[in-house]
Amino acid sequence: MDFKVMASNIGIDDEDFIELLEMLVDVSTTDIVNFEAEVAAGNYKSAAMAAHSIKGASGNLGLTDIAAAAAELEKAAKNSDQSQMSEKIAFLKQELKQISEGLS
């Protein structure tokens, strides 16, 4: 990932973008944990809110693949459809891991 290009694409400087990415990884990791806990408890509305948080934050940073997966996860939670949740969660975890490694 070329963070300089990504920062330029959304019109902010590199340092601010990296700081926002660090926050995204931290908050989205927590959101995923919350999503999984809420689904396990049958609280799909709360799970959808966690996915919505990931969708918004990643979309604001131009991370369209993450935002799209989070949008699908949000929709699945709103419909209480667990069929593809594991796949989307795995994708989000992998993407966040790649960002985290890129920041190191």
- The amino acid sitting at 54 is I
22-70 confidence digits (pLDDT tens): 999 999 999 999 999 999 999 999 999 999 999 999 999 999 999 999 9
Cα angle 64, 67, 68; round to 5: 85
Question: Contact, 28 vs 57, CB < 8 A?
Answer: yes
pLDDT at 47: 97
Cα diameter, the chain = 41
> Structure pTM?
0.91
pLDDT for position 37? 97
For 72-86, the pLDDT digits (tens) are 999 999 999 999 899
Burial 15-46 (b: 16+ CB within 10 A, else e): eebbebbeebbeebbebbebbeebbeeebbee
Q: Write down all domains in the chain, each with its CATH number in brackets.
A: 3-103 (1.20.120.160)
Q: Which two tokens stand for residue 68?
A: 């799209």
Query: How many other C-beta atoms can be found within 10 angstroms of the C-beta atom of residue 78?
Result: 15
Residue 82, pLDDT score: 92
Measuring CA to CA, which residue among 57, 51, 40, 56 is closest to residue 78? 51
